[in-house]
Amino acid sequence: MSNTTGIKEVARRAGVSIGTVSNVLNRPELVASSTRQRVLDAITELGYVRNDSARQLRAGHSRQIALVVLDVTNPFFTDVVRGAEAAAEEHGVMVVVCNSGEDAGREQRHLDLLEEQRVRGVLITPVDESPNSRLELLIQRGTPVVLVDRGSGRHSRCSVAVDDLLGGRLAGEHLVEQGHERITFVGGPATVTQVRDRHAGIVEAVQGRAELSVVSTANLTVAAGRAAAAEIDDATAVFCANDLVALGVLQGLTQRGIRVPQDVAIVGYDDIEFAAAAAVPLSSVRQPREQLGRTATALLLEEIEDDGRHEHRHVVFQPELIVRESSGRPRTRRPRRIGR
Amino acid sequence: MSNTTGIKEVARRAGVSIGTVSNVLNRPELVASSTRQRVLDAITELGYVRNDSARQLRAGHSRQIALVVLDVTNPFFTDVVRGAEAAAEEHGVMVVVCNSGEDAGREQRHLDLLEEQRVRGVLITPVDESPNSRLELLIQRGTPVVLVDRGSGRHSRCSVAVDDLLGGRLAGEHLVEQGHERITFVGGPATVTQVRDRHAGIVEAVQGRAELSVVSTANLTVAAGRAAAAEIDDATAVFCANDLVALGVLQGLTQRGIRVPQDVAIVGYDDIEFAAAAAVPLSSVRQPREQLGRTATALLLEEIEDDGRHEHRHVVFQPELIVRESSGRPRTRRPRRIGR
DNA sequence: GCCACAGCATGAAACGTTTCACAATAGTGG
DNA sequence: CCACTATTGTGAAACGTTTCATGCTGTGGC
């Protein structure tokens, strides 16, 4: 809190005016090099640090963009964060990450604060997608917003998403091809579009070629999956709305002594890193996670650029099914003692 | 960007002075309730949003604290984030999360920005712990800093850490008790104190009662663990510096046809959620991850409070060994067909 | 010797708050 | 009716920048 040195001190020390110091900082080419050097010296000697509040106040807006994620704890989102950071960095913009934790109240508070801070723009996966008045207000008042992983028919904003219907279909077709006739879909709540779409996708793919049942979960976490595993019954394959859920199901089934994939196949969704790293590597519908973050950021920066007129765009990525052991032909194991 | 309404507009609309509006906002009890209501109405009608830059400029500092993590992608850190957020929320403070991604340059840039923003305080797990001049400067200029998961002998700051020596010892004793005689430690780089301490801990515990070898990794990721698995040789147990590495090793070994725990036992470190969720649930040395974040935040807020005089404290938590299948007695499996 | 002009530097206004000393009004007790 | 206090409201200063119109110098062309 001792930071008491402003541009004014620097100016005095260098024997120049305030305006000159500002010029050294912002348009150094306008300042004679000797003067510039004197100012620069003064700056380091005094340990001067620019005051961003004052800058922003003058500028009318900050130089950051925000990314509001549903759950920092979900590796899917942390990968999105990485993508967004990478893209932002290329433009010299900083990303501040906010975690709503699937709590509408927290989301609201974050948005309040972000608006007070006059962030340049917001990337967000909203907690609920029903007419979200807070978010709507933000947009209406002029803050660029890009929806992440939420297809939006609305034309009032850009969005980046993955075709979840197709994803579900891919999983369904794969399982049917593998000869499964009794499949269970695990996920919830159904209020989440992703869950609905992925389910719809598999329904469409299966089309009478297999029986499809549903085990509904309260959220998309490992714990929920573990709990759901107890209810899985009379199925030879499970399609989970999420890799976290899939990992939970895998664990739950294993604990029941049910072998994966010999007894039951599992297909997850997202293809988070831990899917491949599971001891029974998980088949999963891959979403281009980093790409999602990158593109969303690019769209946002574009909108910020186009200040006035801007054509909102909706980018939809195609998911890709990654088949691994959990749903592939059981591979031959050659157990052997470690060491040669 | 259309946000053109300031306190001034509100004042005009409500027919009061600027000062009164400010009072309504900050000390409503000083304003007669009728006036207050009029102002409040004007605020909602105009969609007025406070300008935080101006506020901060006046106040001299922001109202946020920052948490700079090494790797948002590591579930260990996301849990720390959650803890910090919870503690901060209780105090009405917002946490902004910054990701250094183990890149000193990015860390530096984040700190620069944070200082320009006059953050109230910083929680950080620094990339390198050598005399970090940037961080030192920050502290010296008066920003409270708490080191997270980095024991610091220094008395110039608070710190929160876990006793890694003990953690390593716990793992070592457990493995020796289980009768293992050839143990491999997997982790790196050795420049990271955590890695060194955990290794030192197991060395101490094993003390001639078993052979100890080391497979060194470039970093602490799943990929690194997977690669390391190829080099594990002639061991009956593996102790990994990290759960991510442990998961990688687990996967690598399984792919080589080596069974866990029958052929080789594995113990990880951190006890991230995915450790328990692995199909062979991972034994792991548990760190109180959320607690770490909570306590660090509490310490920071305390220091901010104590503005002038403040006694720096160093909190050290005790880790706890969680034994699961990966290193327990192989449990009996009862394979059976799903469905009854 | 004068003018025009480039190259630098200056000073003041403005950004939107908060704060604080003070003014205005009304109520109270003597 | 006065002196006081309590209760509300006011206006201006200050926070640290950026920006812009303006001022000052010295140089080269005529």
How does pLDDT run across B60-76, given as a tens digit for each residue?
999 999 999 998 999 99
> Which of helix, strand or coil describes residue A163?
coil
Per-residue model confidence (pLDDT) at position B129: 73
Q: List B48's β-bridge partners, or say none.
A: none
Using a CB-CB cut-off of 8 Å, the residues of chain A touching B81 are 72, 99
Helix residue ranges per DSSP H, B73-185: 75-90, 104-116, 133-140, 164-177
Bridge-based pairing of strands B320-322 and B283-286 is: antiparallel
- B251 beta carbon to strand D: under 7 Å: no
Output B132 or A51, whichever has higher pLDDT.
Answer: A51
As its CATH architecture, domain B164-287+322-327 has: 3-Layer(aba) Sandwich (3.40)
pLDDT of A2 higher than 50 = no
Residue B339 — very low, low, confident or very high, per pLDDT cuts 50/70/90? very low
The mean per-residue pLDDT over the stretch A96-101 comes to 91
Residue A88 — very low, low, confident or very high, per pLDDT cuts 50/70/90? very high
pLDDT of B336 higher than 60 = no
Q: Shortest Cα distance from A157 to chain B (angstroms)?
A: 15
Q: What is the pLDDT of residues A260-292, one digit of tens each?
A: 899 999 999 999 988 987 768 899 999 999 999
The mean per-residue pLDDT over the stretch A243-253 comes to 93
Structure token digits, residue B234: 């002639």
Using a CB-CB cut-off of 8 Å, the residues of chain A touching B247 are 274, 277-278
Cβ B63 vs Cβ B93: under 8 Å? yes
Per-residue model confidence (pLDDT) at position B154: 67
The mean per-residue pLDDT over the stretch B163-180 comes to 97
In 3D space, the residue among A91, A104, A131, A85 whose CA is nearest the CA of residue A293 turns out to be A85
Q: Which residue is nearest to nucleotide D6 (CA to C1')?
A: B30
pLDDT of A335 higher than 60 = no
Residues 6+ apart with CB under 8 A from B223: B248
Q: State which fold the A3-50 domain adopts.
A: 434 Repressor (Amino-terminal Domain) (1.10.260)
In 3D space, the residue among B180, B7, B119 whose CA is nearest the CA of residue A338 turns out to be B180
- A2 beta carbon to strand D: under 7 Å: no
* CA separation for the pair B91, B235 (Å, rounded): 50
* CA separation for the pair B7, B20 (Å, rounded): 10
Residues 6+ apart with CB under 8 A from B201: B164, B165, B166, B167, B168, B169, B170, B171, B172
* CA separation for the pair B20, B28 (Å, rounded): 9
The mean per-residue pLDDT over the stretch B50-59 comes to 96
Helix residue ranges per DSSP H, chain B: 7-14, 18-26, 33-46, 52-59, 75-90, 104-116, 133-140, 164-177, 193-206, 222-229, 243-255, 273-277, 289-305
Same-fold call for A59-162+290-318 versus A164-287+322-327: yes
Q: What is the pLDDT of residues B72-88, one digit of tens each?
A: 999 999 999 999 999 99
B59-162+290-318 is a CATH 3.30.9.10 domain: no
In 3D space, the residue among B123, B78, B225, B5 whose CA is nearest the CA of residue A71 turns out to be B78
* CA separation for the pair B65, B71 (Å, rounded): 18
pLDDT of B152 higher than 80 = no
Q: What's the mean pLDDT when you consider all of chain B?
A: 90
Is A82 within 8 Å of B60 when comparing Cβ atoms? Answer: no
Q: What is the pLDDT of residues B85-109, one digit of tens each?
A: 999 999 989 999 999 988 888 899 9
Is B53 within 8 Å of A54 when comparing Cβ atoms? Answer: yes
Cβ B247 vs Cβ A274: under 8 Å? yes
* CA separation for the pair A269, A10 (Å, rounded): 56
Nearest CA in chain A to B119: A1
Instruction: Domain ranges for chain A, please list them.
Output: 3-50, 59-162+290-318, 164-287+322-327
Strand C bases contacted by the protein (CB, 7 Å)? 7-21
Using a CB-CB cut-off of 8 Å, the residues of chain B touching A118 are 3, 51-53
Residue A153 — very low, low, confident or very high, per pLDDT cuts 50/70/90? low
pLDDT of B178 higher than 90 = yes
Q: Shortest Cα distance from A233 to chain B (angstroms)?
A: 5
